[in-house]
Amino acid sequence: MLPVTYRLIPQSGVSTYGLNTADTPVFPDIPEHAPNPSRLRLAHDSLAINSEFRLEPECVVEYLISGAGGIDPDTEIDDDTYDECYDELSSVLQNAYTQSETFRRLMNYAYEKELHDVEQRWLLGAGEAFETTVTQEHFKLS
Measure the CA–CA gap between 124 and 121, rounded to whole angstroms.
Answer: 10
H-helix or E-strand containing 2?
A: strand 2-5
Residue 35 DSSP label: T
Higher per-residue confidence, 59 vs 136: 59
Tell me what percent of the residues of the chain surpass a pLDDT of 90. 27
Q: Is the pLDDT of residue 85 over 60?
A: yes
The pLDDT score that the predictor gives to residue 139 is 65
pLDDT of residue 60: 94
What is the spatial distance between Cα 125 and Cα 85, in angstroms, rounded to a whole number?
9
* Mean pLDDT of all residues in 73-101: 87
pLDDT for the residue numbered 6:
38
Q: What is the pTM of this model?
A: 0.60
pLDDT of residue 137: 73
Q: For residue 4, is pLDDT > 50? A: no
Higher pLDDT, 142 or 29: 29
Taking the alpha carbons of 84, 89, 90, 95 in that order, is the dihedral positive or negative? positive
